[in-house]
Amino acid sequence: MSEEPQPTVAEQVVAALRATGIDTLFCLPGVQNDALFDALVDAPDIRAIVTRHEQGAAYMAMGAAQVTGLPSACCVVPGPGMLNASAALTSAYWGYARVLAIVGQIALPLQGRNVGTLHDLPDQTAILAQLTKHTAVVHDPDTATDTIGAALDALVSDVPRPVSLEVPVDVWPLAASGRIRAPRATTPPPDPVAIERAAHVLASAERPLMVVGSGAYDAAPEVIALAERLQAAVTTRRMGHGVVPTAHPLFVPITVAHDLWSDADVVVGIGSRLEWPLGTWGHDDELRLVQINVDHDELDRHGITTVAVHADAAVACRALLDALGEGSRPSREGALSALRADFHRTTAHLEPQRAYCEALRDVLPDDGVIVEDVTQVGFGAHLFYDHRRPRTYLSSGAAGTLGAGTAVAIGAATATDRPVVGLTGDGGFLFTAAELATAVQHDIDCTIVLFNDGAYGNVRRIQRTRYGDDRVIASTLRNPDFAAFCASFGVRHRAVDTPDGLRRALPEALTHKGPALVEVRVGEMPDPWPFLRMAPNRG
């Protein structure tokens, strides 16, 4: 009786997708990856979504990973394909998305020789090492299965960030021994000593402030319970929206948190890098800092942490609640309510951003998803949108990637049945607008809200403010006819020019099968940055 033939490396990678629960591959095929795509023909359970640009493939994988918290995957050719995807990979890195980037490679005998073969790079892996938390390269079919398995383990473990898997063109078709297993996730358990020390610090806090980030997305009940136990004010900058709903009486916008910062005696960071307050607002010897993070590098990045808890946010918060025990503290809800009311008075002039955020909130369900591009209403949403649940506001975080929003929104829409709305401006939209063709081809329901002011609006306003009206340069745009543009793709288009117009047009767009675009024609908007980036007030 003849033995079954061993699977090829390409078939092992397909098995790895399946073992990880990934059923969609965002991709742009090419000659170095032909063997992988041939193997995908025999894997009908894995949907191949072909995109119009490598950046689109990686951005879509990012959106799918962010909206679910689960791994996703993209596949591109080496050299220019990988470089085209690199902006999306750095966005996924700072947007904390578990993206498996499958990247082709030139043939083994040609690597490192710099001979200029098709798609050659002197050291592709060195570039990927700066964009991912783990770089895996399959050099030998005998160790391929172990190499792939280690990449999968890294993908699902600890801090959510991209992982790259490179396979040379001449290695794909080779037989690989062993079986692909399901990935094994590892998360550091909280140190009981650190928990006791943190509980001691928190028990003595009189004016605690909690800052939550994306590392707290899966810990919302625990974070809320800890905040209520401590009567701590809670804030977030952009990546932790919805962990504590904005309507919760202990939540405060980032502007109010700045006011509280100067007097806070204990700050608790939960799944947050704390870069914004510590790096901008300052600190002194009187500030005690409890940092809870699954990312070891963030536990004491600024050298001032009082107690570091290296653990998953939900597990750590439950341990802290147990260590604190029962108890009650004087309510801070009234004082925080007054501060929020004052914030709304001082920001009342930020129109129409506030009104557009209210229109979006009126239409979207509690679990509806917004994808932020770098645009004026996106900035306003950090201050004014009513965030009600985690993973409903997707951002590129510290990457601040202009133009990502359309493709990220399309990717998110493939991974959830919840309505997805991408917020973009006319400048950023055209970066990935060609991916509307991908959405049409693959019947992806997604709505883009395009704010059209005929400019890179943020840049133009900064130029005028800093240098004068006569010093504006390279920020005004001549746009296409967006209605005709959408029609050429087969995308539904509506144009409005008021918040009420958006409120009326958006429900129709959300129920439309396939992609839709609502163009919102706007003028220059007032500056929100004084309420987002505040001056140092401590230390």
Query: In terms of domains, do 362 and 302 share one?
Result: no
Residues 6 or more apart from 342 whose CB is under 8 A from it? none
Q: Is residue 480 part of a domain?
A: yes
User: Do 448 and 518 form a contact (C-beta atoms < 8 A)?
Assistant: yes
pLDDT at 316: 98
Q: Is residue 60 part of a domain?
A: yes
pLDDT at 519: 98
Alpha carbon distance 98, 92 (integer Å): 8
Query: What are the Cα distances from residue 293, in Å, to 29, 282, 301, 311, 533?
Result: 38, 21, 12, 6, 24
Q: Is residue 469 part of a domain?
A: yes
Tell me the CATH number at 289. 3.40.50.1220
Query: In terms of domains, do 149 and 257 share one?
Result: no
Instruction: Enumerate the β-bridge partners of residue 449.
Output: 423, 518
Query: What are the Cα distances from residue 237, in Å, to 161, 353, 395, 419?
Result: 19, 17, 11, 24
Report how many domains make up the chain: 3
Whose CA is closest to 50, among 68, 26, 33? 26
Residues 6 or more apart from 469 whose CB is under 8 A from it? none
- Domain containing residue 500: 347-531
Query: In terms of domains, do 488 and 419 share one?
Result: yes
Give CA 259 to chain center in angstroms: 27
DSSP classification of residue 510: H
DSSP sequence for 150-165? HHHHHHHSSS---EEE
Whose CA is closest to 308, among 293, 288, 322, 319? 293
Q: What six digits make up the tokens of 290? A: 């409890």
User: Do 74 and 85 form a contact (C-beta atoms < 8 A)?
Assistant: yes
Query: In terms of domains, do 250 and 322 share one?
Result: yes
pTM comes to: 0.97
Query: In terms of domains, do 329 and 470 share one?
Result: no
Q: What six digits make up the tokens of 16? A: 């790895």
By three-state DSSP, how is residue 312 classified? coil
Last residue of a domain, one of 297, 323, 343: 343
Q: What six digits make up the tokens of 458? A: 């943020």
Q: Is residue 97 part of a domain?
A: yes
SS3 sequence of 219-273 = HHHHHHHHHHHHCCEEECCCCCCCCCCCCCCCECCHHHHHHHHCCCCEEEEECCC
- Work out whether the CA dihedral 308, 312, 315, 317 comes out positive or negative: positive
Query: In terms of domains, do 334 and 197 share one?
Result: yes
Query: In which residue are the tokens 């973009």 written?
Result: 424
Angle, helices 353-363 vs 376-384, to 10°: value is 70
Query: In which residue are the tokens 């001549």 written?
Result: 478
Residues of the chain with pLDDT under 50: 1
Q: Is residue 506 part of a domain?
A: yes
User: Do 248 and 337 form a contact (C-beta atoms < 8 A)?
Assistant: no
Residues 6 or more apart from 484 whose CB is under 8 A from it? none
Last residue of a domain, one of 168, 184, 201: 168
Alpha carbon distance 116, 185 (integer Å): 40
Query: In which residue are the tokens 């055209």 written?
Result: 430
Query: In terms of domains, do 411 and 365 share one?
Result: yes
Alpha carbon distance 166, 135 (integer Å): 8
Q: Is residue 173 part of a domain?
A: no
SS3 sequence of 74-138 = EEECCCHHHHHHHHHHHHHHHCCCCEEEEEEECCHHHCCCCCCCCCCCCCHHHHHHCCCCEEEEC
Query: In terms of domains, do 284 and 430 share one?
Result: no
Q: What six digits make up the tokens of 527? A: 């500056």
Question: Is residue 254 packed enough to be buried (19+ CB in 10 Å), middle (13-18) or exposed (0-12)?
Answer: buried
Whose CA is closest to 436, among 424, 444, 426? 444
Query: In which residue are the tokens 């600890």 written?
Result: 158
Tell me the CATH number at 95. 3.40.50.970
Query: In terms of domains, do 249 and 382 share one?
Result: no
Query: In terms of domains, do 352 and 501 share one?
Result: yes
pLDDT at 4: 77
Query: In terms of domains, do 368 and 381 share one?
Result: yes
pLDDT at 327: 87
Which residue type sits at 328? S
Q: Is residue 181 part of a domain?
A: no
pLDDT at 2: 55
Q: Is residue 299 part of a domain?
A: yes
Query: In terms of domains, do 237 and 368 share one?
Result: no
Which residue type sits at 126? A
Which residue type sits at 351? E
Alpha carbon distance 199, 501 (integer Å): 51
When computed from its CA atoms, the radius of gyration of the chain, rounded to whole angstroms, is: 24
